[in-house]
Structure 1
Amino acid sequence: MSAPRTSILRPSAPRPSALRPARPVAGRRRAQPVTWIVLGLLAVYALGPLLVLAANSLKSSREIDTNPLGPPQSWSWSNFAGAWERAHMGGALLNSSLIALATAAGVAVIATTAAYAMTRLGLPGGGAWILWLLVSSSLPIQLFLVPLVSWWSFLGLYNQPIGLVIIYWAVYSPFATLLVRAFLVGMPREYEEAARLDGAGELGVFTRIVLPMVRPAVLTAALVAGLQAYNEFMLAVTFIQDRDLQPVALSLYSFQQGFTTDWSLVSAAGLLMALPVVVLFLMMQRTFIDGYVSRGIAV
Protein backbone atom coordinates (compact mmCIF):
# COMPACT_ATOMS: atom_id res chain seq x y z
CA MET A 1 0.00 0.00 0.00
CA SER A 2 1.54 3.25 -1.14
CA ALA A 3 1.79 6.27 1.17
CA PRO A 4 -0.58 9.10 0.49
CA ARG A 5 0.88 11.94 -1.45
CA THR A 6 1.29 15.21 0.38
CA SER A 7 0.83 18.39 -1.55
CA ILE A 8 2.86 21.37 -0.56
CA LEU A 9 1.14 24.69 -1.24
CA ARG A 10 3.63 27.14 -2.55
CA PRO A 11 2.87 30.85 -2.59
CA SER A 12 2.10 31.96 -6.06
CA ALA A 13 4.40 34.51 -7.59
CA PRO A 14 3.00 38.00 -7.67
CA ARG A 15 1.69 39.20 -10.93
CA PRO A 16 3.72 41.76 -12.82
CA SER A 17 0.89 44.21 -12.54
CA ALA A 18 0.98 43.98 -8.72
CA LEU A 19 4.63 45.07 -8.67
CA ARG A 20 3.94 48.23 -10.60
CA PRO A 21 3.43 51.37 -8.53
CA ALA A 22 -0.06 52.71 -8.46
CA ARG A 23 -0.64 55.46 -10.93
CA PRO A 24 -1.49 58.80 -9.38
CA VAL A 25 -4.90 60.10 -10.06
CA ALA A 26 -4.75 62.60 -12.89
CA GLY A 27 -7.30 64.87 -11.26
CA ARG A 28 -5.22 65.20 -8.09
CA ARG A 29 -2.08 66.03 -10.05
CA ARG A 30 -3.85 68.81 -11.89
CA ALA A 31 -5.61 70.12 -8.76
CA GLN A 32 -2.53 70.33 -6.54
CA PRO A 33 -0.89 73.40 -8.17
CA VAL A 34 -4.25 75.15 -8.29
CA THR A 35 -4.75 74.46 -4.59
CA TRP A 36 -1.36 75.91 -3.70
CA ILE A 37 -1.99 78.98 -5.84
CA VAL A 38 -5.35 79.60 -4.18
CA LEU A 39 -3.88 79.11 -0.70
CA GLY A 40 -1.00 81.44 -1.55
CA LEU A 41 -3.37 84.14 -2.76
CA LEU A 42 -5.46 83.80 0.39
CA ALA A 43 -2.33 84.05 2.55
CA VAL A 44 -1.23 87.20 0.74
CA TYR A 45 -4.73 88.63 1.10
CA ALA A 46 -4.78 87.89 4.84
CA LEU A 47 -1.20 88.75 5.75
CA GLY A 48 -0.58 91.56 3.25
CA PRO A 49 -2.22 94.38 5.23
CA LEU A 50 -0.54 93.26 8.45
CA LEU A 51 2.88 93.19 6.76
CA VAL A 52 2.34 96.65 5.28
CA LEU A 53 1.26 97.91 8.70
CA ALA A 54 4.38 96.43 10.30
CA ALA A 55 6.62 97.95 7.63
CA ASN A 56 5.03 101.40 7.93
CA SER A 57 5.38 101.31 11.71
CA LEU A 58 9.17 101.21 11.26
CA LYS A 59 9.37 104.05 8.74
CA SER A 60 9.50 107.78 9.18
CA SER A 61 6.56 109.91 8.11
CA ARG A 62 8.50 111.22 5.09
CA GLU A 63 9.44 107.72 3.97
CA ILE A 64 5.81 106.59 4.13
CA ASP A 65 4.89 109.39 1.69
CA THR A 66 7.53 108.26 -0.81
CA ASN A 67 7.42 104.48 -0.19
CA PRO A 68 4.09 103.45 1.36
CA LEU A 69 4.17 99.74 0.37
CA GLY A 70 7.84 98.79 0.35
CA PRO A 71 10.12 97.70 3.20
CA PRO A 72 11.64 100.38 5.44
CA GLN A 73 15.00 101.80 4.45
CA SER A 74 15.89 102.92 7.98
CA TRP A 75 14.21 101.23 10.93
CA SER A 76 12.66 103.71 13.38
CA TRP A 77 12.03 101.71 16.56
CA SER A 78 11.25 104.92 18.43
CA ASN A 79 7.83 105.00 16.75
CA PHE A 80 6.56 102.34 19.16
CA ALA A 81 7.65 104.28 22.22
CA GLY A 82 6.07 107.47 20.84
CA ALA A 83 2.81 105.72 19.97
CA TRP A 84 2.69 103.97 23.36
CA GLU A 85 3.04 107.29 25.18
CA ARG A 86 0.92 109.58 23.00
CA ALA A 87 -1.94 107.14 22.37
CA HIS A 88 -2.04 105.97 26.02
CA MET A 89 -1.78 102.39 24.78
CA GLY A 90 -0.94 100.94 28.19
CA GLY A 91 -4.21 101.93 29.86
CA ALA A 92 -6.22 101.23 26.70
CA LEU A 93 -4.78 97.72 26.34
CA LEU A 94 -5.54 97.02 30.00
CA ASN A 95 -9.13 98.21 29.59
CA SER A 96 -9.62 96.11 26.47
CA SER A 97 -8.07 93.06 28.11
CA LEU A 98 -10.39 93.31 31.10
CA ILE A 99 -13.43 93.83 28.88
CA ALA A 100 -12.46 90.92 26.61
CA LEU A 101 -11.80 88.56 29.53
CA ALA A 102 -15.07 89.47 31.24
CA THR A 103 -16.95 89.05 27.97
CA ALA A 104 -15.34 85.67 27.25
CA ALA A 105 -16.03 84.35 30.75
CA GLY A 106 -19.65 85.55 30.78
CA VAL A 107 -20.42 84.22 27.30
CA ALA A 108 -18.88 80.85 28.18
CA VAL A 109 -21.06 80.52 31.28
CA ILE A 110 -24.25 81.71 29.55
CA ALA A 111 -23.75 79.58 26.44
CA THR A 112 -22.82 76.41 28.32
CA THR A 113 -25.68 76.54 30.79
CA ALA A 114 -28.21 77.55 28.13
CA ALA A 115 -27.10 74.77 25.77
CA TYR A 116 -27.25 72.21 28.58
CA ALA A 117 -30.75 73.29 29.52
CA MET A 118 -31.91 73.10 25.90
CA THR A 119 -30.50 69.63 25.26
CA ARG A 120 -30.78 67.87 28.64
CA LEU A 121 -33.52 69.46 30.75
CA GLY A 122 -36.39 69.15 28.29
CA LEU A 123 -37.40 72.80 28.06
CA PRO A 124 -40.86 73.42 26.63
CA GLY A 125 -40.90 74.95 23.19
CA GLY A 126 -38.35 72.75 21.46
CA GLY A 127 -37.37 74.35 18.16
CA ALA A 128 -38.76 77.73 19.19
CA TRP A 129 -35.62 78.35 21.25
CA ILE A 130 -33.43 77.59 18.24
CA LEU A 131 -35.47 79.98 16.11
CA TRP A 132 -35.20 82.66 18.78
CA LEU A 133 -31.42 82.28 18.93
CA LEU A 134 -31.08 82.45 15.15
CA VAL A 135 -33.26 85.54 14.91
CA SER A 136 -31.59 87.32 17.82
CA SER A 137 -28.11 86.66 16.41
CA SER A 138 -29.10 88.02 13.00
CA LEU A 139 -30.69 91.28 14.16
CA PRO A 140 -28.37 94.32 13.92
CA ILE A 141 -27.49 95.94 17.22
CA GLN A 142 -28.15 99.38 15.73
CA LEU A 143 -31.87 98.76 16.21
CA PHE A 144 -31.44 98.83 20.00
CA LEU A 145 -28.95 101.67 20.48
CA VAL A 146 -31.47 104.38 21.36
CA PRO A 147 -33.40 102.41 24.02
CA LEU A 148 -30.13 100.97 25.38
CA VAL A 149 -28.64 104.43 25.90
CA SER A 150 -31.80 105.50 27.71
CA TRP A 151 -31.97 102.42 29.92
CA TRP A 152 -28.26 102.38 30.71
CA SER A 153 -28.34 106.06 31.69
CA PHE A 154 -31.26 105.36 34.01
CA LEU A 155 -29.57 102.32 35.57
CA GLY A 156 -26.21 104.06 35.99
CA LEU A 157 -24.45 101.70 33.58
CA TYR A 158 -23.65 104.32 30.94
CA ASN A 159 -19.94 105.15 30.66
CA GLN A 160 -19.14 102.06 32.73
CA PRO A 161 -17.14 99.06 31.45
CA ILE A 162 -19.53 96.62 33.15
CA GLY A 163 -22.41 98.13 31.19
CA LEU A 164 -20.54 97.54 27.94
CA VAL A 165 -19.72 93.97 28.99
CA ILE A 166 -23.38 93.20 29.70
CA ILE A 167 -24.28 94.32 26.18
CA TYR A 168 -21.53 92.12 24.77
CA TRP A 169 -22.95 89.17 26.71
CA ALA A 170 -26.33 89.68 25.08
CA VAL A 171 -24.89 90.18 21.59
CA TYR A 172 -22.41 87.28 21.47
CA SER A 173 -24.25 84.64 23.53
CA PRO A 174 -26.76 83.41 20.89
CA PHE A 175 -24.12 82.15 18.44
CA ALA A 176 -22.02 80.73 21.29
CA THR A 177 -25.08 78.85 22.58
CA LEU A 178 -25.70 77.32 19.17
CA LEU A 179 -22.07 76.26 18.96
CA VAL A 180 -22.04 74.55 22.37
CA ARG A 181 -25.45 73.01 21.72
CA ALA A 182 -24.11 71.36 18.56
CA PHE A 183 -21.53 69.54 20.69
CA LEU A 184 -24.10 68.46 23.26
CA VAL A 185 -26.50 67.12 20.62
CA GLY A 186 -23.85 64.75 19.26
CA MET A 187 -22.51 63.69 22.65
CA PRO A 188 -23.65 60.27 24.00
CA ARG A 189 -25.63 60.26 27.24
CA GLU A 190 -24.40 56.97 28.67
CA TYR A 191 -21.83 58.66 30.90
CA GLU A 192 -24.46 61.01 32.31
CA GLU A 193 -26.85 58.16 33.02
CA ALA A 194 -24.08 56.20 34.74
CA ALA A 195 -23.24 59.21 36.89
CA ARG A 196 -26.90 59.59 37.89
CA LEU A 197 -27.05 55.92 38.83
CA ASP A 198 -24.05 56.50 41.10
CA GLY A 199 -25.99 59.23 42.89
CA ALA A 200 -24.69 62.36 41.17
CA GLY A 201 -27.03 65.30 41.01
CA GLU A 202 -27.73 67.50 38.01
CA LEU A 203 -25.02 69.98 38.97
CA GLY A 204 -22.49 67.19 39.46
CA VAL A 205 -23.33 65.67 36.09
CA PHE A 206 -22.94 69.06 34.44
CA THR A 207 -19.64 70.01 36.06
CA ARG A 208 -17.93 66.59 36.16
CA ILE A 209 -19.23 64.85 33.04
CA VAL A 210 -20.61 67.30 30.51
CA LEU A 211 -18.32 70.28 30.97
CA PRO A 212 -15.02 68.39 30.35
CA MET A 213 -16.47 66.82 27.20
CA VAL A 214 -17.60 70.12 25.67
CA ARG A 215 -14.41 71.94 26.62
CA PRO A 216 -13.31 72.59 22.96
CA ALA A 217 -16.65 74.19 22.12
CA VAL A 218 -16.66 76.32 25.28
CA LEU A 219 -13.11 77.55 24.67
CA THR A 220 -13.92 78.33 21.04
CA ALA A 221 -17.03 80.28 22.00
CA ALA A 222 -15.13 82.20 24.66
CA LEU A 223 -12.26 82.97 22.29
CA VAL A 224 -14.55 84.22 19.55
CA ALA A 225 -16.51 86.41 21.96
CA GLY A 226 -13.35 87.80 23.54
CA LEU A 227 -11.80 88.69 20.19
CA GLN A 228 -15.00 90.34 19.02
CA ALA A 229 -15.20 92.40 22.20
CA TYR A 230 -11.53 93.37 21.85
CA ASN A 231 -12.00 94.67 18.29
CA GLU A 232 -15.51 96.12 18.69
CA PHE A 233 -15.83 99.86 18.06
CA MET A 234 -19.42 101.03 17.59
CA LEU A 235 -20.78 100.03 21.00
CA ALA A 236 -17.59 101.20 22.72
CA VAL A 237 -17.74 104.67 21.17
CA THR A 238 -21.45 104.90 22.08
CA PHE A 239 -21.32 103.78 25.72
CA ILE A 240 -17.81 104.79 26.86
CA GLN A 241 -17.01 108.52 26.99
CA ASP A 242 -14.33 108.79 29.68
CA ARG A 243 -10.84 108.72 28.16
CA ASP A 244 -9.42 106.72 31.05
CA LEU A 245 -11.99 103.95 30.44
CA GLN A 246 -11.66 103.76 26.65
CA PRO A 247 -10.72 100.40 25.10
CA VAL A 248 -7.84 100.18 22.68
CA ALA A 249 -9.97 100.42 19.51
CA LEU A 250 -11.47 103.70 20.68
CA SER A 251 -8.11 104.99 21.89
CA LEU A 252 -6.55 104.23 18.51
CA TYR A 253 -9.36 106.07 16.74
CA SER A 254 -8.92 109.13 18.95
CA PHE A 255 -5.17 109.05 18.39
CA GLN A 256 -5.63 108.80 14.61
CA GLN A 257 -7.97 111.77 14.61
CA GLY A 258 -5.40 113.84 16.48
CA PHE A 259 -2.34 112.75 14.49
CA THR A 260 -3.67 112.22 10.97
CA THR A 261 -0.43 113.30 9.28
CA ASP A 262 1.97 111.17 11.30
CA TRP A 263 1.11 107.77 9.82
CA SER A 264 4.22 106.18 11.25
CA LEU A 265 2.95 106.62 14.81
CA VAL A 266 -0.57 105.58 13.80
CA SER A 267 0.81 102.40 12.18
CA ALA A 268 2.88 101.64 15.27
CA ALA A 269 -0.17 102.07 17.50
CA GLY A 270 -2.22 99.83 15.21
CA LEU A 271 0.44 97.14 15.32
CA LEU A 272 0.55 97.33 19.11
CA MET A 273 -3.21 96.79 19.12
CA ALA A 274 -3.05 93.83 16.72
CA LEU A 275 -0.13 91.96 18.30
CA PRO A 276 -2.01 90.60 21.38
CA VAL A 277 -4.75 89.19 19.14
CA VAL A 278 -2.26 87.55 16.77
CA VAL A 279 -0.29 86.01 19.64
CA LEU A 280 -3.44 84.72 21.33
CA PHE A 281 -4.73 83.16 18.13
CA LEU A 282 -1.39 81.47 17.42
CA MET A 283 -1.39 80.01 20.92
CA MET A 284 -4.97 78.71 20.71
CA GLN A 285 -5.35 78.03 17.00
CA ARG A 286 -5.67 74.25 17.47
CA THR A 287 -8.50 74.66 19.98
CA PHE A 288 -10.12 77.31 17.80
CA ILE A 289 -10.06 75.14 14.66
CA ASP A 290 -11.15 71.97 16.50
CA GLY A 291 -14.11 73.79 17.99
CA TYR A 292 -15.32 74.85 14.56
CA VAL A 293 -14.73 71.69 12.52
CA SER A 294 -15.60 68.99 15.05
CA ARG A 295 -19.33 69.71 14.98
CA GLY A 296 -21.73 71.63 12.85
CA ILE A 297 -24.49 73.92 14.04
CA ALA A 298 -27.11 71.26 14.64
CA VAL A 299 -30.75 72.30 14.51
Structure 2
Amino acid sequence: MRGRMKHVAVIVGHVLLVAFAATALFPLLLVLINSFKTSSEVTANPLAPPTELRLDNFAEAWNYGHFAQGFVNSFILTFTTVVVVLVCSSLAGYVLAGKKIRVWPAVMIYFMVAMTVPIQLFLFPLYYVFAQLQLLGNVVAVGVVIAAINMPLSVFLMRTFFLKIPKSVEEAALVDGANTFQLLRSVMLPVVSPGLITVATIVGLMAWNEFLITSTFLQGGEESSITATLGYLSMNGTFSTDQGVMMAGAVILVAPIMVVFILLQRHFVDGFVSGSVKG
Protein backbone atom coordinates (compact mmCIF):
# COMPACT_ATOMS: atom_id res chain seq x y z
CA MET A 1 0.00 0.00 0.00
CA ARG A 2 2.79 2.42 0.88
CA GLY A 3 4.57 1.69 -2.40
CA ARG A 4 1.38 2.26 -4.38
CA MET A 5 0.75 5.60 -2.67
CA LYS A 6 4.32 6.63 -3.42
CA HIS A 7 3.84 5.68 -7.07
CA VAL A 8 0.61 7.71 -7.26
CA ALA A 9 2.34 10.70 -5.65
CA VAL A 10 5.11 10.53 -8.27
CA ILE A 11 2.55 10.44 -11.09
CA VAL A 12 0.63 13.38 -9.63
CA GLY A 13 3.87 15.33 -9.25
CA HIS A 14 4.82 14.72 -12.87
CA VAL A 15 1.34 15.73 -14.06
CA LEU A 16 1.58 18.99 -12.13
CA LEU A 17 5.05 19.68 -13.52
CA VAL A 18 3.82 19.07 -17.07
CA ALA A 19 0.87 21.40 -16.44
CA PHE A 20 3.15 24.15 -15.10
CA ALA A 21 5.54 23.70 -18.03
CA ALA A 22 2.68 23.92 -20.53
CA THR A 23 1.38 27.07 -18.84
CA ALA A 24 4.82 28.68 -19.13
CA LEU A 25 5.57 27.53 -22.69
CA PHE A 26 2.16 28.17 -24.26
CA PRO A 27 2.54 31.99 -24.49
CA LEU A 28 5.99 31.58 -26.06
CA LEU A 29 4.64 29.09 -28.58
CA LEU A 30 1.76 31.45 -29.36
CA VAL A 31 4.17 34.33 -30.03
CA LEU A 32 6.27 32.10 -32.30
CA ILE A 33 3.25 30.96 -34.30
CA ASN A 34 1.88 34.49 -34.74
CA SER A 35 5.29 35.84 -35.81
CA PHE A 36 4.79 34.10 -39.18
CA LYS A 37 1.31 35.57 -39.79
CA THR A 38 -0.04 38.78 -41.22
CA SER A 39 -1.67 41.24 -38.87
CA SER A 40 -5.14 40.32 -40.14
CA GLU A 41 -4.49 36.63 -39.48
CA VAL A 42 -3.35 37.35 -35.94
CA THR A 43 -6.43 39.46 -35.27
CA ALA A 44 -8.80 36.91 -36.83
CA ASN A 45 -7.56 33.89 -34.87
CA PRO A 46 -4.31 34.04 -32.87
CA LEU A 47 -4.56 30.32 -32.08
CA ALA A 48 -4.72 29.14 -35.69
CA PRO A 49 -1.55 28.05 -37.53
CA PRO A 50 -0.23 30.40 -40.25
CA THR A 51 -1.41 29.82 -43.82
CA GLU A 52 2.10 30.68 -45.04
CA LEU A 53 5.40 31.46 -43.35
CA ARG A 54 5.96 35.22 -43.61
CA LEU A 55 9.70 35.50 -43.02
CA ASP A 56 9.62 39.15 -44.09
CA ASN A 57 8.14 39.91 -40.65
CA PHE A 58 11.53 39.11 -39.15
CA ALA A 59 13.36 41.23 -41.73
CA GLU A 60 11.16 44.25 -41.02
CA ALA A 61 11.44 43.77 -37.26
CA TRP A 62 15.24 43.46 -37.49
CA ASN A 63 15.60 46.66 -39.54
CA TYR A 64 13.09 48.90 -37.79
CA GLY A 65 13.99 47.63 -34.31
CA HIS A 66 17.70 48.41 -34.89
CA PHE A 67 18.52 44.98 -33.46
CA ALA A 68 21.97 44.89 -35.07
CA GLN A 69 23.18 47.78 -32.89
CA GLY A 70 20.82 46.86 -30.08
CA PHE A 71 22.28 43.39 -29.59
CA VAL A 72 25.82 44.79 -29.47
CA ASN A 73 24.87 47.34 -26.81
CA SER A 74 22.82 44.79 -24.85
CA PHE A 75 25.78 42.41 -24.85
CA ILE A 76 28.14 45.14 -23.62
CA LEU A 77 25.62 46.19 -20.97
CA THR A 78 25.03 42.63 -19.77
CA PHE A 79 28.73 41.71 -19.83
CA THR A 80 29.67 44.80 -17.81
CA THR A 81 26.93 44.17 -15.26
CA VAL A 82 27.79 40.49 -14.81
CA VAL A 83 31.55 41.09 -14.47
CA VAL A 84 31.12 43.87 -11.89
CA VAL A 85 28.58 41.86 -9.90
CA LEU A 86 30.63 38.65 -9.88
CA VAL A 87 33.84 40.38 -8.79
CA CYS A 88 32.26 42.49 -6.05
CA SER A 89 29.70 39.98 -4.76
CA SER A 90 32.22 37.11 -4.57
CA LEU A 91 34.66 39.23 -2.56
CA ALA A 92 31.92 40.60 -0.29
CA GLY A 93 30.36 37.15 0.13
CA TYR A 94 33.71 35.66 1.15
CA VAL A 95 34.34 38.39 3.73
CA LEU A 96 30.82 38.27 5.19
CA ALA A 97 30.68 34.47 5.29
CA GLY A 98 33.95 34.30 7.19
CA LYS A 99 32.98 37.17 9.52
CA LYS A 100 36.34 38.74 8.76
CA ILE A 101 35.22 42.23 9.77
CA ARG A 102 33.73 43.23 13.09
CA VAL A 103 30.87 45.21 11.63
CA TRP A 104 29.63 42.36 9.42
CA PRO A 105 26.13 42.32 11.06
CA ALA A 106 25.72 46.02 10.22
CA VAL A 107 26.81 45.35 6.64
CA MET A 108 24.26 42.55 6.32
CA ILE A 109 21.52 44.82 7.64
CA TYR A 110 22.60 47.50 5.16
CA PHE A 111 22.26 45.08 2.25
CA MET A 112 18.87 43.91 3.51
CA VAL A 113 17.63 47.50 3.68
CA ALA A 114 19.11 48.27 0.27
CA MET A 115 17.04 45.47 -1.26
CA THR A 116 13.82 47.19 -0.15
CA VAL A 117 14.63 50.68 -1.47
CA PRO A 118 13.11 51.35 -4.93
CA ILE A 119 15.52 52.58 -7.57
CA GLN A 120 13.05 55.31 -8.58
CA LEU A 121 14.19 57.32 -5.55
CA PHE A 122 17.69 57.64 -7.03
CA LEU A 123 16.84 58.34 -10.67
CA PHE A 124 17.00 62.13 -10.45
CA PRO A 125 20.27 62.32 -8.46
CA LEU A 126 21.84 59.68 -10.72
CA TYR A 127 20.69 61.51 -13.83
CA TYR A 128 22.23 64.74 -12.54
CA VAL A 129 25.54 62.99 -11.84
CA PHE A 130 25.52 61.30 -15.26
CA ALA A 131 24.83 64.62 -16.94
CA GLN A 132 27.62 66.37 -15.03
CA LEU A 133 30.10 63.61 -15.87
CA GLN A 134 28.88 63.45 -19.50
CA LEU A 135 28.05 59.76 -19.16
CA LEU A 136 24.56 59.89 -20.69
CA GLY A 137 24.46 57.30 -23.45
CA ASN A 138 27.47 55.42 -22.04
CA VAL A 139 26.52 51.74 -22.02
CA VAL A 140 29.36 50.66 -19.71
CA ALA A 141 28.48 53.29 -17.08
CA VAL A 142 24.84 52.21 -17.14
CA GLY A 143 26.00 48.61 -16.68
CA VAL A 144 27.76 49.65 -13.47
CA VAL A 145 24.52 51.22 -12.20
CA ILE A 146 22.54 48.06 -12.95
CA ALA A 147 25.25 46.04 -11.20
CA ALA A 148 24.87 48.21 -8.10
CA ILE A 149 21.12 47.63 -8.12
CA ASN A 150 21.56 43.84 -8.22
CA MET A 151 24.46 43.79 -5.76
CA PRO A 152 22.54 43.15 -2.47
CA LEU A 153 20.84 40.00 -3.75
CA SER A 154 24.06 38.77 -5.35
CA VAL A 155 26.03 39.27 -2.13
CA PHE A 156 23.45 37.30 -0.14
CA LEU A 157 23.58 34.45 -2.65
CA MET A 158 27.37 34.33 -2.76
CA ARG A 159 27.60 34.47 1.03
CA THR A 160 25.34 31.41 1.17
CA PHE A 161 27.66 29.46 -1.12
CA PHE A 162 30.76 30.46 0.84
CA LEU A 163 29.09 29.34 4.07
CA LYS A 164 28.93 25.81 2.68
CA ILE A 165 32.74 25.55 2.39
CA PRO A 166 34.27 23.89 5.47
CA LYS A 167 36.61 26.12 7.46
CA SER A 168 39.26 23.41 7.25
CA VAL A 169 39.61 23.94 3.48
CA GLU A 170 40.61 27.57 3.96
CA GLU A 171 42.89 26.77 6.88
CA ALA A 172 44.68 24.03 4.91
CA ALA A 173 45.35 26.41 2.01
CA LEU A 174 46.73 29.05 4.37
CA VAL A 175 48.97 26.49 6.07
CA ASP A 176 50.35 25.50 2.67
CA GLY A 177 51.48 29.09 2.17
CA ALA A 178 48.73 30.48 -0.06
CA ASN A 179 48.03 34.18 0.22
CA THR A 180 44.53 35.67 0.11
CA PHE A 181 44.52 36.14 -3.65
CA GLN A 182 45.71 32.59 -4.30
CA LEU A 183 43.21 31.25 -1.78
CA LEU A 184 40.31 32.94 -3.56
CA ARG A 185 41.45 32.20 -7.11
CA SER A 186 42.58 28.59 -6.73
CA VAL A 187 40.54 27.24 -3.81
CA MET A 188 37.42 29.19 -2.91
CA LEU A 189 36.09 30.38 -6.28
CA PRO A 190 36.30 26.97 -8.00
CA VAL A 191 34.29 25.47 -5.14
CA VAL A 192 31.55 28.13 -5.42
CA SER A 193 31.46 28.04 -9.23
CA PRO A 194 27.79 26.88 -9.22
CA GLY A 195 26.98 30.02 -7.24
CA LEU A 196 28.87 32.19 -9.72
CA ILE A 197 26.90 30.68 -12.61
CA THR A 198 23.62 31.14 -10.74
CA VAL A 199 24.32 34.79 -9.94
CA ALA A 200 25.57 35.45 -13.48
CA THR A 201 22.40 33.95 -14.96
CA ILE A 202 20.03 35.91 -12.73
CA VAL A 203 21.85 39.22 -13.11
CA GLY A 204 22.44 38.70 -16.83
CA LEU A 205 18.73 38.16 -17.50
CA MET A 206 17.84 41.24 -15.46
CA ALA A 207 20.40 43.37 -17.28
CA TRP A 208 19.30 42.15 -20.72
CA ASN A 209 15.63 42.93 -19.99
CA GLU A 210 16.29 46.22 -18.16
CA PHE A 211 14.09 49.08 -19.35
CA LEU A 212 13.74 51.79 -16.69
CA ILE A 213 17.45 52.47 -16.22
CA THR A 214 18.38 52.10 -19.89
CA SER A 215 15.55 54.31 -21.12
CA THR A 216 16.59 56.99 -18.60
CA PHE A 217 20.36 57.04 -19.10
CA LEU A 218 20.85 55.70 -22.61
CA GLN A 219 18.50 58.13 -24.28
CA GLY A 220 16.63 55.43 -26.19
CA GLY A 221 15.95 57.61 -29.21
CA GLU A 222 19.60 57.48 -30.31
CA GLU A 223 20.48 54.40 -32.34
CA SER A 224 24.14 54.45 -31.23
CA SER A 225 23.19 53.72 -27.61
CA ILE A 226 19.96 51.78 -28.06
CA THR A 227 19.64 48.30 -26.55
CA ALA A 228 17.66 45.39 -27.93
CA THR A 229 14.85 46.02 -25.44
CA LEU A 230 14.63 49.71 -26.31
CA GLY A 231 14.80 48.87 -30.01
CA TYR A 232 11.84 46.55 -29.71
CA LEU A 233 9.81 49.09 -27.76
CA SER A 234 10.61 51.75 -30.37
CA MET A 235 8.65 49.66 -32.88
CA ASN A 236 5.38 50.38 -31.08
CA GLY A 237 4.84 53.64 -32.91
CA THR A 238 5.48 52.19 -36.37
CA PHE A 239 4.06 48.67 -36.05
CA SER A 240 1.54 49.06 -33.25
CA THR A 241 -1.15 47.79 -35.63
CA ASP A 242 0.98 45.13 -37.34
CA GLN A 243 0.94 42.37 -34.77
CA GLY A 244 2.84 39.96 -37.00
CA VAL A 245 5.93 42.18 -37.09
CA MET A 246 5.66 42.90 -33.37
CA MET A 247 5.54 39.16 -32.64
CA ALA A 248 8.57 38.61 -34.87
CA GLY A 249 10.44 41.31 -32.95
CA ALA A 250 9.53 39.61 -29.68
CA VAL A 251 10.93 36.31 -30.98
CA ILE A 252 14.18 38.02 -31.99
CA LEU A 253 14.44 39.65 -28.56
CA VAL A 254 13.65 36.52 -26.53
CA ALA A 255 15.57 33.94 -28.59
CA PRO A 256 19.08 34.72 -27.20
CA ILE A 257 17.76 34.61 -23.63
CA MET A 258 16.13 31.24 -24.21
CA VAL A 259 19.28 29.77 -25.77
CA VAL A 260 21.53 30.98 -22.93
CA PHE A 261 19.12 29.77 -20.25
CA ILE A 262 18.78 26.33 -21.85
CA LEU A 263 22.57 25.99 -22.05
CA LEU A 264 23.02 27.03 -18.41
CA GLN A 265 19.87 25.44 -17.00
CA ARG A 266 21.62 22.49 -15.39
CA HIS A 267 24.22 24.66 -13.66
CA PHE A 268 21.52 27.17 -12.68
CA VAL A 269 19.34 24.55 -10.98
CA ASP A 270 22.33 22.85 -9.33
CA GLY A 271 23.49 26.19 -7.99
CA PHE A 272 20.13 27.03 -6.48
CA VAL A 273 19.77 23.59 -4.90
CA SER A 274 23.26 23.57 -3.41
CA GLY A 275 22.96 27.14 -2.21
CA SER A 276 19.64 26.67 -0.46
CA VAL A 277 20.90 24.27 2.20
CA LYS A 278 22.59 26.76 4.46
CA GLY A 279 22.06 30.51 4.83
Q: TM-score, normalised by structure 2?
A: 0.94
1:136 maps to 2:114: yes
Q: Please point out which of 99, 108, 132 is paired with 1:154.
A: 132
Q: Which residue of 2 aligns with 1:42?
A: 20
**Pairwise CA distance, 1:297:** 7.8
Quickly say closer, same or farther: Cα 1:237–1:25, change in 2 above 3 A.
Answer: same
The CA distance in 2 between the partners of 1:218 and 1:37, in whole Å, is: 32
Read off the aligned partner of 2:169 and give its amino acid letter.
Y
The CA distance in 2 between the partners of 1:137 and 1:128, in whole Å, is: 14
Which ranges of structure 2 fall in alignment gaps of 5 or more residues? none
Q: Which structure has more helix as a fraction of its residues?
A: 2
Q: Which residue of 1 aligns with 2:255?
A: 275
Q: Please point out which of 175, 200, 211 is paired with 2:153.
A: 175
Q: Please point out which of 233, 242, 247 is paired with 1:262.
A: 242
1:131-170 Cα shifts (integer Å, max 9, x gaps): 2112112221111111111111112222211221111111
The CA distance in 1 between the partners of 2:80 and 2:137, in whole Å, is: 16
Read off the aligned partner of 1:177 and give its amino acid letter.
V
1:35-62 Cα shifts (integer Å, max 9, x gaps): 2332232112211111111001011122
Q: Which residue of 2 aligns with 1:9?
A: none
The CA distance in 1 between the partners of 2:190 and 2:40, in whole Å, is: 55
Aligned 8 A contact 2:80 2:144 in 1: no
Aligned 8 A contact 1:58 1:264 in 2: yes
The CA distance in 2 between the partners of 1:42 and 1:119, in whole Å, is: 36
Is the partner of 1:44 in helix, strand or coil?
A: helix
1:164-194 Cα shifts (integer Å, max 9, x gaps): 1111111111111111110111211222212
Q: Which residue of 2 aligns with 1:120?
A: 98
The CA distance in 2 between the partners of 1:63 and 1:129, in whole Å, is: 56
Q: Which moved more, 1:37-46 or 1:236-245?
A: 37-46
Larger Rg: 1
Q: Which residue of 2 aligns with 1:67?
A: 45
RMSD: 1.6
Quickly say closer, same or farther: Cα 1:193–1:29, change in 2 above 3 A.
Answer: closer
Count of residue pairs the alignment pairs up: 277
The CA distance in 1 between the partners of 2:15 and 2:249, in whole Å, is: 33
1:296 maps to 2:258: no
1:205 maps to 2:148: no
Read off the aligned partner of 1:281 and give its amino acid letter.
F
Quickly say closer, same or farther: Cα 1:28–1:298, change in 2 above 3 A.
Answer: closer
Q: Which residue of 1 aligns with 2:267?
A: 287
Aligned 8 A contact 2:97 2:160 in 1: no
Percent sequence identity over matched residues? 32
Q: TM-score, normalised by structure 1?
A: 0.88
